[in-house]
Chains A and B, each alone.
Chain A
Amino acid sequence: EPEVTQTPSHQVTQMGQEVILRCVPISNHLYFYWYRQILGQKVEFLVSFYNNEISEKSEIFDDQFSVERPDGSNFTLKIRSTKLEDSAMYFCASRRRGSDNSPLHFGNGTRLTVT
Chain B
Amino acid sequence: GDSVTQMEGPVTLSEEAFLTINCTYTATGYPSLFWYVQYPGEGLQLLLKATKADDKGSNKGFEATYRKETTSFHLEKGSVQVSDSAVYFCALSDMDSNYQLIWGAGTKLIIKP
A49 touches B (CB below 8 Å): no
Q: Is the CB of B101 within 8 A of A43?
A: yes
Q: Is the CB of A103 within 8 A of B49?
A: yes
A51 touches B (CB below 8 Å): no
Q: Is the CB of A100 within 8 A of B99?
A: yes
Using CB atoms, name the residue of chain B closest to A43: B103
Inter-chain CA distance A104–B103, complex, in Å, is 13
Contact mask B97-113 → A, CB, 8 Å, 1/0? 01111011110000000
Q: Is the CB of A106 within 8 A of B103?
A: no
Which residues of B are found within 8 Å of A108, using beta-carbon distances? 41-43
Question: Which residues between 70 and 113 of chain B lie within 8 Å of chain A, taking CB atoms?
Answer: 89, 91, 93-94, 98-101, 103-106
A18 touches B (CB below 8 Å): no
Using CB atoms, name the residue of chain A closest to B102: A45
Q: Which residues of B contact A (CB under 8 A)?
A: 32, 36, 41-46, 49, 51, 89, 91, 93-94, 98-101, 103-106
Q: Which residues of A contact B (CB under 8 A)?
A: 4, 6, 33, 35, 41-45, 48, 55-56, 91, 93, 98-100, 103-109
